[in-house]
Amino acid sequence: MKMEKGNEKYDKVLEMLRKSEPVLTSADEITENVLKIISGKTKKRADLTEVLDFMFSWTYNVWVRRSLITAAAVMVIIFIYQQGVILNQINQLSRQINDSGWNASTVNMRYINNSTLLFRFRERLYPAGKTDISDRKVEELLRSIDQLKKEYKDLHELIENDPELKRLIEKRLSEIDGNKTKL
Amino acid sequence: MTDLQLIEECRGGNFNNFRKLVEQTSPFAFSLAFRMLGDEDLAKDVVQETMVTIWQKLNKIRSAEAYTTWIRKVVINKCYDCLRHKKQNHEYRADDKTWRHLSERISQLPSDQLENDQIAKIISMLTDKLSPRQKTIFVLSEVEAMTSDEISEVTGMAKSAIKANLYYARKNIMERIGKYL
């Protein structure tokens, strides 16, 4: 009985609510506010268009403008990429210099070989008639390099075979460098 | 409710046509928002935001029916967000005098329409213990007389969840009616 009464009241309340439609009293105010907001947003968009017009107004051809914008964007990307590569190479070189110490005592045979190889190639790339150095001098230089390499090798073997001499040289090099050098 | 031709004319950026569209749409949107929120100022804010959203997405509207459904969807979602936020800050508490007044009105069943503040008071009195979700479902189903299919389409909720929420909302409101009226 109580439940039925509750249901009845529930239905009456709902009926009241359904019948009563809320009334919008200040429709004009809302309309004006909405138009104000959207005209503000449209103005912002128009400002951006104005800036683009100012920058690219010398041509009104749409595809030219788009191509220019694309080209500019691509160039910026390439520039940034290039800077990255250069920076990376500089860092790598700095690291190599730090690692190798870069002094006369650490210049090894590999370095000499690479240098002479490049020099020999140079002879092919630039015929003798066009260089300042004569063929004879180049041959003499290469011969002396070969001789130097042979002597370096002999000296290395000599030092390796004589522990006393090796210790003495290491001690002497350490005095010069200030570091303990191992041959 | 609204003319598709008017929407198409608004797409060109014509403010005068959009003014007409706002004038046509606002009362419907306000009614829905007000019933859900029970607060005139908040409902007006929701209507305003809804109309701005409509302006921004006019290109997506393909038919007048889709427009009505879409308006409902936007209003309901904005109101639901409002309710969730409001729940944390403010809760309406009805005193005995207000309940007595409502009881008298029910027994008289007036033929004239209720004022906005009376509608707001009744909805708040009945639903202030409900969760935002239950309140939303109650208003859409019982006051706006939407079917569960329509509610599901607009809110994105499963039908089973809608039924469960409606059951708990009804139960809670019946208890309050039994206790106070």
| Residues spanned by the domain of A139 | 97-182
Overall residue count recorded for chain B in this entry: 181
Residue A108 is assigned to a structural domain of this protein: yes
Check CB contact of A9 with chain B, cutoff 8 Å: yes
Overall residue count recorded for chain A in this entry: 183
Q: What residues of chain B, 89 to 148, have a C-beta less than 8 Å from chain A? A: 102, 105-106, 109-110, 113-114, 116, 118-119, 122-123, 126, 142-143, 145
Return all residues near B176 (Cβ < 8 A) that are at least 6 apart.
B125, B126, B129
Interval B118-135: pLDDT, tens: 888 888 888 888 888 999
Interval A85-103: pLDDT, tens: 999 989 888 887 776 654 4
Return all residues near B158 (Cβ < 8 A) that are at least 6 apart.
B152
Handedness of CA A12, A17, A20, A25 (dihedral sign): positive
Note whether B15 contacts A39, CB cutoff 8 Å: yes
Rounded to an integer, the average pLDDT of B56-70 is 80
Mutate to test the interface with A, among B11, B15, B19, B22 (most CBs of A within 10 A): B22
Q: Provide ipTM, 2 decimals.
A: 0.77
Residue A155 is assigned to a structural domain of this protein: yes
Structure tokens at B31: 């009614």
Note the Cα A165 to chain centre separation in Å.
50
What pLDDT score does A36 carry?
86
Residue A1 is assigned to a structural domain of this protein: no
- Report the alpha-carbon distance of residue A62 to residue A59 in Å, rounded: 8
Residue A171 is assigned to a structural domain of this protein: yes
Structure tokens at B37: 């929120």
Percent of chain A with pLDDT over 70: 67
**Residues of A with Cβ-Cβ distance to B170 under 8 angstroms:** 10
Count structural domains, chain A. 1
What pLDDT score does B1 carry?
47
Higher per-residue pLDDT: A149 or A180: A149
Per-chain mean pLDDT for chain B = 82
Interval A106-125: pLDDT, tens: 555 666 666 666 666 665 55
Note whether B27 contacts A27, CB cutoff 8 Å: yes
- Report the alpha-carbon distance of residue A58 to residue A64 in Å, rounded: 10
Higher per-residue pLDDT: A16 or A128: A16
Residue A139 is assigned to a structural domain of this protein: yes
As to burial, measured by CB atoms within 10 angstroms (0-12 exposed, 13-18 middle, 19+ buried), residue A166 is: middle
Prediction pTM value: 0.57
- Report the alpha-carbon distance of residue A7 to residue B170 in Å, rounded: 10
Q: Which amino acid is at B110?
A: P
Residue A170 is assigned to a structural domain of this protein: yes
Residue A19 is assigned to a structural domain of this protein: no
Interval B99-122: pLDDT, tens: 777 767 666 655 667 788 888 888
Question: Smallest CA–CA separation between B30 and chain A, in Å?
Answer: 6
What pLDDT score does A119 carry?
62
Residue A110 is assigned to a structural domain of this protein: yes
**CA-angle at A33, arms to A28 and A38, nearest 5°:** 125
What pLDDT score does B158 carry?
92
Rounded to an integer, the average pLDDT of B56-74 is 82
